[in-house]
């Protein structure tokens, strides 16, 4: 690395300051053989969702800093660390900080995440690029923890705004089994209340052909005997949900896990410079940019932006600026973003997308907020359970 920097510095000696000895270092921390990135097979070996490490997004952000490094005299380095199974995540974060890291991007399973926050969550910068669960922004938040991924409640609020905007107010919720779908359904109920929609009914489904559980497994039966404008699906796995559109009792659109889905990023976004970012990512990573990749990318960009404003790699100063909420970030989603001071969540527009198009972007016109319309999405300051 030192050799590489030296070459850069020599190349840029022309009327420019040589690069400072200490680069701006950002650490990505993941886990070896993380089950979250193993292909999740369903029947007949199909993988319904591509699951890739979001580190590609972080790499892209760092790869784009050459000219900025030339201007600032500060290089940017991404240090990728993978924790062995059973490894001590908190110790790894400590080591990263000892090596001078300005921020650690956390791509960790829940347990490891909790361990890091308990031991190392007090100061510096930790950026969640993976979890949407509101608990990390609420009861389990930490002073050092920021979230580049939108929260679950931001995602459901975005969809609820769309339904309100379209006047599709009567919602039938179909919920799959397990805690993930329970959490999703809870967020959906909250958003339905927040934006004045009507919960026509909430029905649990099971992936089953058992004739004794016909009312749980048959889409037509599940969607009959109710009056509703739209079906909102909570199905994290996707194996049931993919059979819901066009199989409903009434001719109604499906939103949520299938159909129209709220996401942080989509590979078809056509405005706000997004095509350039998507093309750059595709060229670098050989695949389409997904929400996690975008979160990793924007997390690194926030550090880069802070370093370029302060023109230092002073850890405390950078952390203070990023966390302050005063750092305006180019999100490539049309509106500048910043981190909410009360829970560390990145304010951002949410895209409502089908499998191949972005249909709308929340927040919608007409949803007002006293300080920032982006705060109509997710848990606002008065409601936050985060005490930090």
Partner 1 sequence: MLKGLSGALCAVSVAGSAWAASGIAIVSNERGNTLTVIGPDLAIVDTMETCARPRGMHFSADRSEFFVGCADDDQIAIYETATRTLLRRITGVPAPETFDLHPDGRRLVVSNEEDAAASVYDVETGELLAEYETGEEPEGVQITPDGRLAFVASEAANLVHVIDLEADAVIADILVDTRPRRFALTPDAAELWVSAELAGVVNIIDVASLKLVGDIAFLPTGFRPEQVTPVDVLITADGSRAYVALGRANHVAVVDVAAREVLDYVLVGKRAWGLALSADESRLFVANGLSDDVTVVDTASLRALTSTPTGLVPYGILIDDR
Contact residues toward partner 1 (CB under 8 A) are: 14-16, 64-68, 70-72, 273, 276, 279-280, 283, 308, 328, 330, 334-336, 373
Which ranges of the chain would DSSP assign to H, the alpha helix? 2-11, 55-63, 66-72, 89-98, 110-120, 152-166, 179-194, 214-217, 219-222, 274-285, 291-310, 315-323
Q: Residue 243's CB: how many other CB atoms inside 10 A? A: 12
Minimum CB–partner distance for residue 155 and partner 1 (Å): 21
Q: With contact defined as beta carbons under 8 Å apart, do 92 and 82 qualify? A: no
Q: Is 169 helix (H, G, I), strand (E, B) or coil?
A: coil
Dihedral sign of CA atoms 354, 358, 362, 366 in order: negative
Q: How far is CA 38 from CA 28, 34, 49, 126, in A?
A: 19, 7, 10, 25
Q: Which residues contact 325 (CB under 8 A, 6 or more apart)?
A: 338, 339, 340, 341
Nearer to partner 1, 30 or 363 (CB): 363
**Cβ proximity to partner 1, 126 vs 158, nearer residue:** 158
Nearest distance from residue 194's CB to partner 1, in Å? Answer: 22
Least distance from C-beta 300 to partner 1, angstroms? 12
3-state secondary structure at position 216: helix
Beta carbon nearer to partner 1, 228 or 297: 297
Q: How far apart are CA 193 and CA 62, in angstroms?
A: 41
Q: Which is nearer to partner 1, 213 or 276 (CB)?
A: 276
362: nearest Cα among 382, 346, 378 = 378
CB of 256 to partner 1, least distance (A): 28
Q: How far apart are CA 71 and CA 65, in angstroms?
A: 10
Residue 89: which of 31, 147, 154 has the closest Cα?
31
Cβ at position 134, least distance to partner 1 in Å: 25
Minimum CB separation of residue 276 from partner 1 in Å reads 5
The span from the CA of 101 to the CA of 122, in Å, is 15
Closest distance of CB 124 from partner 1, Å:
25
Q: In angstroms, what is the minimal distance from the CB of 77 to partner 1?
A: 17
Nearer to partner 1, 1 or 328 (CB): 328
Q: How far is the CB of 74 from partner 1 (least distance, A)?
A: 12
Is the CB of 76 or the CB of 195 nearer to partner 1? 76
Report the side by side order of strands in the sheet with 170-175.
Answer: 198-204, 170-175, 230-234, 254-256
Q: Phi then psi for 330, rounded to 5 degrees? A: -80, 110
CA distance 346 to 115: 22
Please, what is the minimum distance in Å from the beta carbon of residue 279 to partner 1?
Answer: 6
Q: What is the DSSP letter of 124?
A: S
Name the 3-class secondary structure at 178.
Answer: coil
Query: Which C-beta is closer to partner 1: that of 68 or that of 95?
Result: 68
Nearer to partner 1, 244 or 318 (CB): 318
Burial 171-192 (b: 16+ CB within 10 A, else e): bbbbbbbeebbebbbbbbbbbb
Which is closer to partner 1, CB of 48 or CB of 71?
A: 71
Complex with partner 1: residue 148 or 197, whichever CB lies closer: 148
């Amino acid at each position: 690395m030192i050799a590489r920097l030296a070459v850069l510095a020599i190349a840029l000696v022309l009327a420019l300051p040589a690069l400072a000895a200490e680069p701006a270092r950002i650490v990505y921390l993941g886990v070896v053989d993380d089950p979250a990135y193993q292909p999740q097979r369903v029947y007949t070996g199909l993988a319904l969702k591509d699951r890739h490490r979001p580190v590609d997004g972080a790499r892209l952000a760092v790869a784009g800093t050459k000219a900025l490094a030339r201007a600032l005299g500060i290089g940017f380095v991404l240090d990728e660390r993978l924790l062995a199974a059973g490894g001590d995540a908190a110790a790894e974060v400590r080591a990263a900080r000892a090596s001078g890291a300005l921020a650690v991007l956390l791509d960790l399973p829940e347990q490891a995440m909790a361990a890091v926050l308990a031991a190392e969550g007090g100061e510096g910068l930790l950026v969640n690029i993976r979890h949407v669960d509101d608990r990390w922004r609420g009861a389990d938040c930490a002073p050092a923890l920021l979230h580049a991924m939108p929260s679950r409640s931001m995602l459901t609020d975005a969809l609820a705004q769309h339904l309100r905007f379209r006047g599709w107010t009567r919602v039938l919720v179909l919920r799959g089994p397990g805690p993930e779908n329970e959490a999703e359904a809870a967020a959906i109920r909250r958003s339905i209340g927040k934006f004045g929609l009507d919960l026509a009914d909430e029905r649990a489904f099971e992936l089953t052909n058992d004739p004794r559980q016909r009312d749980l497994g048959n889409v037509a039966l599940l969607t009959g005997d109710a009056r509703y404008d739209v079906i909102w699906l909570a199905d994290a796995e996707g194996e049931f949900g993919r059979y819901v559109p066009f199989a409903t009792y009434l001719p109604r659109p499906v939103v949520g896990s299938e159909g129209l889905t709220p996401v942080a990023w989509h590979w078809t976004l056509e405005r706000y410079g997004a095509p350039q970012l998507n093309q750059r990512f595709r060229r670098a990573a050989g695949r389409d940019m997904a929400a996690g990749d975008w979160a990793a990318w924007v997390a690194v960009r926030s550090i880069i932006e802070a370093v370029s404003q302060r023109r230092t790699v002073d850890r405390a100063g950078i952390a203070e600026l990023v966390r302050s909420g005063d750092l305006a970030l180019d999100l490539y989603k049309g509106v500048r973003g910043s981190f909410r001071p009360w829970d560390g969540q990145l304010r951002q527009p949410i895209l409502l997308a089908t499998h191949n198009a972005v249909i709308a972007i929340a927040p919608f016109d007409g949803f007002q907020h006293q300080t920032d319309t982006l705060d109509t999405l997710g848990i606002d300051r008065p409601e936050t359970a985060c005490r930090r």
